[in-house]
Copies of this chain bind each other. A is one copy, B any other.
Amino acid sequence: MRTERVCYACDARIDEPAARCTCGEPLWLDVDVDSFHWDDVADAPGMWRYEPLLPVSEPPDGLFDAAGRTPLMRTTALDEFAGARVHLKIEGENPTGSFKDRGSALGLAAIGAGDGPANSNGAVGTVSHGNMAISTAAYAAAAGVPCVVLVPADIPDDRLRTISQFDPTILRVDGDYGRLYEHTLELAPALNAVFLNSDVPLRIEGQKTTALEICEAFAPETPDAIVLPTSSGGHASGVWKALTELERSGAIDDLPRLYVVQAAACAPIAAADERGADEVSRIEGDETIAYSIANADPPSGTRALAAVRDTGGSAVAVDDNAIREAQRTLASRAGLSVEASSATALAGVRYLTETGEIDAGENVVAVTTGTGLTDRLGSPAAETISLSDLKARLRAVL
C-alpha cells in the first residue's frame, strides 16, 4: 500500500515523516482505495475488518483486537428530545473508554511492526493529559513499545494514576504546555520517534474506522447526517477521509452531511464557519464543562471546516446548559453515561433540528466519544430508611 503523505489543501506530496505540509496544513496518508466494496471487508476482529482501507496489515493480537466495532444503536427514546431519528455510536465501549483507541491501535500497530508510515525507532510519544494519554499508553503497553506521555506540571493526581497503570514514562512539563503539541511534531523526525498526537497521519487512519463502521451498518443506504463532538479536528478529518474514500470506491453513493459540534465557550471552528471564513483562527476560549473538547487553536480546525463544507454540513456550538441537559437526558432516558464533551453530540442534533438544518425524518448518527463512568455526575441525593419501613416504602415507590 502507498504510504506517501499528501496535503488535503494544496495537494502537495511529501515524502518525509512530517505531520505538516509546507503550506502549514496537516498531512494525511495517500491510501489506495480505488476498488473497495463492502464485500471486501476482512474476516478480522474489531476495526481490522477494514484492513483493505488501512495502512497496517498485521496488527498484534490482544488489545488491538478489542479496538473499535463499537455499538451503533437506534435509540427511539431520544427522538422527541432530539427532533430526528437518533442513532448513537458508543465510542465509550472501546477498551480505554474513548474513540482515541482507534487511532492509538492503528498507530501502535504500525510502530510495533516498523511499517513504512511509522518511520520510527519503535517508540511513541503523545501530548495529552486526558483520553489520548490513557489510550496511547495502553496500546504502547500491549505492543511492548516504549512510550512517553507529556503532561502539564499541574495535572491532578487522579488523572496521573489512571495513566500510570500502563507504565509509560510520564514527564510533567513546566512551561507553555500549549506549545508542546506542534513542538513535539517538529522534534519527532530527529528523534526517529512518532508523536501520536491528535491529528497526525497515523491517528487519522485509525479514526477513519468510526465512519467506516457507521456506513457499513447502514449499507446499502447511508445515514443523512453524522454529528461529531470536535476539538482538534482530528476525528472529523478521519471521518471525512473515510467518507470520501468510500465514495471514490463506489461503496457509498451519497456523502452523509458531517456536522461538528463545539462547546460555545470555546468554539473556533463554529465561529469561523459562521463568519464564512475558510480558515480557523485561534480564539480566546473560556471554561466549559466539556473541557476535553475545549481547544482554542485546533491544529486540524481548518481541515474540519473543509470537511463540513464538502459534505454539506456545518460547524455549530452549544452552551453548557444545553450540554448538561443532553448529558442528563442520555443517562436518565437512554441509560447511557457519557462525558460532558460527548453530550455535545446530542445537544448538537437538537440544535440542528431546531434551526432546520436537520429534518425530523432524517437518520442522524450522534457519536458519543467517551464514557461518563469515569466522571462523578449527578447529585447524590437519597432517602435514608430503616429496615422496618422497607416494605411500606417499596410499596409506595414500586
Of B93, B125, B383, B395, the residue contacting A66 (CB under 8 A) is B93
Q: A391 to B160, alpha carbons, bound, how many Å?
A: 22
A373 at the interface (CB under 8 A from B): yes
User: Chain A 77-92, CB within 8 Å of chain B: the 1/0 string?
Assistant: 1100000000010101
Number of copies of this protein chain within its complex: 2
How far apart sit A386 and B171, CA to CA, in the bound complex (Å)? 10
One of B66, B144, B187 near A71 (C-beta < 8 A): B66
Interface string of A268-309 (1 = CB under 8 A from B): 000000000000000000000000000000000000000000
CB-CB under 8 A for A142 and B335, given A73-B45, A148-B397, A373-B371: yes
| Binary contact readout A159-171 vs B (1 if CB under 8 angstroms, 0 otherwise) | 0111111110111
Contacts of A94 in B (CB 8 A): 93
Residue contact B332 to A165, C-beta cutoff 8 Å: yes
Chain A window 314-327, contacts with chain B (Cβ cutoff 8 Å), 1 for yes, 0 for no:
00000000000000
Known: A62-B74, A74-B62, A167-B331. A158 touches B376 (CB 8 A): yes
Q: Is the CB of A376 within 8 A of B161?
A: yes
Are A73 and B77 in contact, with the CB atoms below 8 A?
no
Q: A383–B170 contact, CB under 8 A?
A: yes
By the criterion CB–CB under 8 Å, are A372 and B165 in contact? Answer: yes
Q: What size tier do the contact residues of chain A reach?
A: 35 or more
Smallest CB-CB separation from A64: which chain B residue?
A: B73
List, in ascending order, chain B residues with CB within 8 A of A397's CB: 123, 146, 148, 169, 171
Q: CA separation between A246 and B248, bound complex, in Å?
A: 46
Choose, from A173-181, A205-213, A349-357, the stretch at the interface.
Answer: A173-181
Contact A160 B380 (CB under 8 A): yes
A382 within 8 A of B: yes
Q: How far is the CA of A391 from the CA of B165 in the complex (A)?
A: 25
Given A63-B334, A144-B77, A187-B390, do A382 and B45 touch, yes or no (CB 8 Å)? Answer: no
Cβ of B141 and Cβ of A334 under 8 Å apart? yes
Bound Cα distance from A386 to B384, whole angstroms: 52
Q: A140: CB under 8 A from chain B?
A: yes
Assess the B62–A174 pair: CB atoms within 8 A. Answer: no
Task: Out of B62, B71, B165, B380, name the residue touching A46 (CB < 8 Å).
Answer: B71
A62 to chain B, nearest CB (A): 4
The interface residues of chain B lying within 8 Å CB-to-CB of A173 are 384-387, 390
- A166-B66 contact in complex given A161-B379, A172-B385, A174-B384, C-beta closer than 8 Å: no
Who on chain B is nearest to A140 by CB?
B335
Q: From the candidates B164, B183, B387, name the one contacting A174 in the complex (CB within 8 A).
A: B387
Please give 16 more A-B residue pairs, beta carbons under 8 A apart, in addition to A123-B397, A161-B376, A172-B383: A62-B334, A63-B336, A66-B71, A95-B335, A141-B332, A150-B390, A161-B377, A164-B379, A164-B380, A165-B377, A170-B382, A171-B382, A173-B385, A175-B388, A187-B394, A193-B394
Chain A positions within 8 Å of B, measured between CB atoms, are 45-46, 61-63, 65-66, 69, 71, 73-78, 88, 90, 92-97, 121, 123, 125, 134, 137-144, 146, 148, 150-151, 153, 155, 157-158, 160-167, 169-176, 179-180, 183-184, 187, 190-193, 328, 331-337, 371-374, 376-388, 390-391, 393-395, 397-398
